[in-house]
Structure 1
Amino acid sequence: MTQVGEGQEAEETAPPVMTFGAPTAGELLAERYELVEHINNDSAGRLVWRGVDVVLRRPVAVVLRYPGGDSATEMLQAAVAASRVIHPNLVGVYDAIDEADRAYVVREWVDGQSLRELVTADGPLDPARSTAIGSAVASALAAVHATGMVHGNVHPGTVMISDDGRVVLADARTDGDDSQPNDVRAVGGVLYFALTGHWPHGEAPLRGATAGHGRAAIPDAVRDASGAIAAPRQVRAGVPAYLDDLTMDLLDTEIAPPSSDVLSAELSRLDVPADDHFLEPAGPLRFTADTGEEPSPLAAAGGRKVALGIAGLLAVALVGLLVGISVLGGDDKKGTGTDPAANPTSSAPAGDGSSPATAPARKLNIQDVRIIDPDSRKRDELADAEKVMDGEVDNGWETQTYTSANFSNYKKGMGVWIDLGALHNVKSVQVVLSATGTTAQLLAGTKDFASSSKGDNELVTNYQKTPIGQPYVKHDGTKMIFDGFDPEEQYRYLLFWITELPKKDSGSGYKVGVQEITVTGS
């Protein structure tokens, strides 16, 4: 069981917190809050308990500090200030009590885990989920900043995801050492960590570590010889350019950050539900600042690359155009501007005897790819996945060399996961391989899973329920074409799954390369 809110950062010079006279299960505080279970100690030495408000009969978290009095002033002031801000993305604070020998704060109990725990366990998050988390944090900060306060403690240990998917920010500080601009910059660090699993501020102890596990650290960002951090897109494939630029702009100390409300509005605009793909034919957006148009509030605040506000207006205009075409385009001869998925049952004019109109097949944009390797602990064959979609047949991703065709009895298979970015009517998938003799199949799924051994296992198990056509067994060619798609169904996630490797030309070992994957549909 993990309680949201892992505490504030303890300064290296701070004196140890005395914990004698620690409470026991069943003790009643302030004649109202019954202690049920000791959960952990935060990095400042405070005890975190799960409790029950016996008056309102609701679960609560109780954070106790020994002693109280002057030494607990900052904690209590922070709690009082936080209690004045009510927001769905902020952990609610209910009470703050000083009993001299001890002080404690009573706050909302939320079952879940921190962003640090989530990414450490399951690996980096996909861009959509990272954006949603960043949007929730920015929204919480906008509410805090609107009161004139500073949060001062934004990092992966205090960004929490509840079991029902709610994102909340916990444990504000009021020690006067931080600022609202620094809060906003911290959102860039949260986005960077969510996208890459690395911390852009050095391999320092991470705020929010529990005392029982020491002051935990997360990996430092990848850096060049000068110490500059690598952008998220340089660390992993599939990060959209606009999200990459926004993250790096927030981390750039030479660029003035936007206000939290402007950042919240921008991330909220980018946080589009998965089924609202108004711009799907164009693929991921890439915004530049040299359009000659008036910049968005983010660009005006110092963004060096992006003009996101203008792009938002263009997106709205395009949505309006599509809606207008769908309303006015009653004649099927004008149907080239409509989305077949939006009107799959549209038919030809009555009486002409023609068959229903269908959109012509075209090459679909692949938004993201990654290697699926559920049975490897090293996971050292995941690089170069993007080469299967770069348009160059001579350049691809390849497996390591194995001693037998079935991955040396070491794996049940490996594959390339494909994200089309939106639902499409798919006609065929063509895979070009480096050698003949490969056994493989194409599978489809309805959702993504974490990029980890556990996540890959769940993905393969889920996707094997939906095979596309028949598998190729020891195929005698280097090109596989899968066209067994249901024309009445739409697809977004696909998996090219290899179960048997061909023998190398040299005769020593087994391996294969996936040179290029092409998806066609409408």
Structure 2
Amino acid sequence: MTIRRTEYTNGVAAPSVRATGGDLLPGGVIGDGRYRLLASFGVDVRGNAHFWRARDGQLRRDVALTVLVGDPTDRDATVAARRTLERAAHAAQFTSPAVSRVLDVLGVGSGVDPSEGVLGVVVADWAQGTDLVDLIAEHPLPAGTAARLLEPLAIAVDQAHHAGLVLGVDHPQRVRVGPDGALRLAFPGPLPRATLQDDVKGLGAVLYLLLTGRWALPGGPQSIPTAPLDPNGVPVLPSLLRHDVPTELAELAVRSIADASIGGIRTSSAVLRLLEAVAHRAEIQEQTELLNPIIPGSGGGDATTVWTTRPVKDDGRRRKLAIGVTALTVATVGVLAWVGMQLISLFNDGSTHNTAQQYSVSQTPPPPGSGGNQPQANPPPAPKVGAPVKPNKVLVYAQKGDDKDNAGSVKRLIDDNPKTTWNTGKYKQPFPAMRSGIGIIATFDDDTKFAQVSVDSPSDGTVVEIRTAPSANPKLEDTKVIGTATLVNGKTDIQLAAADPTKYVLIWITKLGVSDDDQNVSQFREITFAQAQ
């Protein structure tokens, strides 16, 4: 290390540091002598960013430094460093428990001496806890634990993206695990050209690392093995490396990393929604395991052992467990009461009348999810098919956070040319493994009462629901099913139930066809509509 000058911090002389080439050493000071370097926590070689724990000599507290080093005569390096500092300054406006707060940004002329090879410094709160790399050093984490650890960081990324900010969650040494067991972005400072999609890929790569102990993006630390790739250059599923990883979590990790052009997840909202579902199911499973006794003599413990795992002193978990036990008790009492009523009616003067409503041969029980509505004694007749009516536009419809598959070509469905087609995306797992469905919403000029929808498709086995909608971008729960069908190769006419006139019709695809390469995908040629007479 070349000694350039002597700085004083708290009255104690400390050597400055010649940083060109990354020659940063513990005990050196930067930032006009304010920050004394304590320990290195990694390097992001893509942006020549060095991560340090340092001591703020003025406020006497530890801070996290992202030190950008490089040759001050290299214009590209100085421009890139300035761009990183600008993005870090914008991120200072964003606050989240899962992101260390940016305290200061130092550039040339404001605390940074370029002659020392330092092009910029991002100063942030120090995040107590453990290195992410150290966390998985011995072995990967259980799937449920990995999902819960990542969830707070995914929430922060999603919030930042809604504010138009890129956080730079794309390197394992930027992330630490807090004492509360949640991941935290400890060293802010996104790369100059980082995009929102890079954050999404970073979340997928962090999840992949937690599940497998391997890093699946370029530029990772040499101490971490790289993820194996399939022939398409995509990381292999974590479930192939660890058989106890659920398929949906493995798919989430890989699809977050993959490019959108080959079915990758585009948005942080989609990652978060799927991650929350997995974490919730894992928590329920763990609570259930607390109730499983070990059978004496089975090798799981002595005869006095009651719990498969030690009960956790967690008030929130105990409350959830109590609610579950209470619900189970109420359900049991209800079943016993029903059985008692059946016995009473059986022996009640030979009467064969049941207190429950009996459905006639011509009636059917209410479909699942219909809210338990009783069938109508005289349902309205299906409307007669009248003249065709053409929508003024069609759009791809997806639930919040899901990708809109091939949105640019969906207008082919109403171009009166069966040689042009619209395809859904290709999925390795069928619905609802990664999403509940995908749809096409048609908009008409006037309120119309519809009698039939016809779908021309070569993808037999595809299942669609025809739904009326209150707007062009509704919530799925606000739409109403008026017809359903399993498509055949060719034209399928779907007769609709009587419904109020509407301007918006949703064709909601709940099951995809299967391609020759075992991908789940459906293709559509034309969709036509007929109004009621």
Place the TM-score, normalised by the shorter chain, in its bin: 0.3 to 0.5
Which one has a bigger Cα radius of gyration? 2
TM-score normalized by the length of structure 1: 0.44
Give the TM-score taking structure 2 as reference length.
0.43
